[in-house]
Amino acid sequence: MNSYKVNLIVFIMLLNGVLSAQNEETQIIEKNGLSTLVTAKDNIDYGDQYKGTTSEKAEAFYIKAIDASNANDKDNAIKFYEKAIKQDPKFVEAYDNLGRVYRSIGNLEKAEFYYNKSLEIFPKGPFALMNLAVVHRINGDLIEALKLYESLTMFHPENPEGYFGLASTGMLLERYRLASENIDEAIRIYEAENNDYLGQAYYIKGVALIGLDEIEEAAPFIKKAQDRGMEIDDETMAVLYEAETNLEEMEETSTDEDGEDGNQLFKTAQDYRDFEEKYVMISDWILNTPVGTDKETRDAYSGILVIWMTGAPDVTLELSDKNLPYMENPEMMIAFFAAYGRYAINNPKADAVETNVAATKDVIKFYNENKRKLGKAKGIDELIKLDKKGKLKAYFKE
């Protein structure tokens, strides 16, 4: 299977939250005789190496920090976590949560610093291992992320998040066998717990098998994911199976205006070129029609855009961490596809940087016009700030 097409699948998976970190702030307080043990929210038994803080002052500041964090008061959360650490310099949970707060405000350097401080005290700490891996993944250091997830599985073999992290990162590295084998372990644990993330795990398993060209084996996992409530719409299904148009049991395909089968729209390179004028027309409709209006048409058009963008011989969409803001909402991803393809068609000599900048400006306009329906998107808000400062081109050039 074409690796570019699998990368596009991963992009859509990220949109749906499949590769998102499954972590929550540590905050449960458990009484243990005269001392106080602050533990992770999932009550993992840390063993003999770390038993939590015994400092009542540190615990008091820690609770104040959590209250501030729950009130979205990041400044006071940071201040009180730092006070807790001053009272107890080996307070692992305080370092963990301080890292989490800094990550939530986009300060990855400080987040990494505090997660590493936590691991210096408690090298087996599951929260720090998992979240430091997430930071490395955001920074594009996927190999380092893999090492941390491997440590998590070694120290905590019954914690499914290590296997889930290995699988999702393996997908980003196009190491589909690694992804498939590790998601099997996550599925085993999730099934025993009837975990809410089981549908996402089935989805990753299916996509990993597609990456291995094991299409027939993949289909049942995609079906299981659907049965668990995963919203695998026609567009995603079309991307998942676009390389296997002869798969007879695949019935969910997007349709064009004449009702043709979506996978039959483009059989040759010339088919894609002949469709360019209609692609621009559809893109205009996607970008200019308010979200929530005529959902059936929007869904059908979205499916066509994804199929065309996946196979177009003259337009290459290079995905990177710069595209992460579009993953906050499926509607914005489709808007990005529409804007990127439209600009590339109308400006065939434009390079990737110029096309990304133009497409991003269109997505910003789309976001501003539909913010009430789309909701707040922090990543897009950051792009808006860059645009106002005239720094979008530099951002995409980095």
pTM of the model: 0.57
Residue type, 18: V
pLDDT at 254: 42
**Can you name the residues that pair with 31 across neighbouring β-strands?**
36
| Most distant pair of Cα atoms in the chain: their distance | 77
pLDDT at 162: 94
So where are the chain's domains? 254-398
pLDDT at 26: 44
pLDDT at 248: 39
Q: Report which DSSP code applies to 255.
A: B
pLDDT at 179: 94
Are the C-beta atoms of residues 225 and 203 closer than 8 Å to each other?
Answer: yes
Residue type, 178: L
pLDDT at 235: 47
pLDDT at 252: 41
pLDDT at 309: 82
pLDDT at 319: 64
pLDDT at 206: 87
With b for 16 or more beta-carbon neighbours within 10 A and e for fewer, the 335-361 pattern comes to: bbbbbbbbbbbeeeeeebbebbbbbbb
Task: Look up residue 229 and give its two tokens.
Answer: 């409530």
Q: Is 363 exposed, middle or buried (0-12, 13-18, 19+ CB in 10 A)?
A: buried
Distance CA 118, CA 135 (A): 14
Encode the chain (398 residues) as per-residue pLDDT tens digits: 444 444 545 545 544 444 444 444 443 333 333 223 343 333 344 444 567 788 899 999 999 999 998 898 999 999 999 999 999 999 999 999 999 999 888 898 999 999 999 999 999 999 999 999 999 988 888 899 999 999 999 999 999 999 999 999 998 888 999 999 999 999 999 999 988 889 989 989 988 888 887 877 887 888 898 888 886 645 446 545 554 444 333 334 444 444 444 445 677 888 888 888 888 998 999 999 888 877 777 888 888 888 888 788 888 776 666 666 666 678 888 888 899 989 999 998 888 888 888 988 998 999 889 888 888 778 888 888 888 988 888 888 87
Give the DSSP H/E element, type plus range, for residue 325.
none
Distance CA 255, CA 120 (A): 55
pLDDT at 305: 85
Token pair 């936590």 in the structure block, residue: 118
pLDDT at 318: 67
In angstroms, the Cα distances linking 211 to 4, 234, 250, 332 are 10, 19, 17, 26
Three-state secondary-structure class, residue 69 = helix
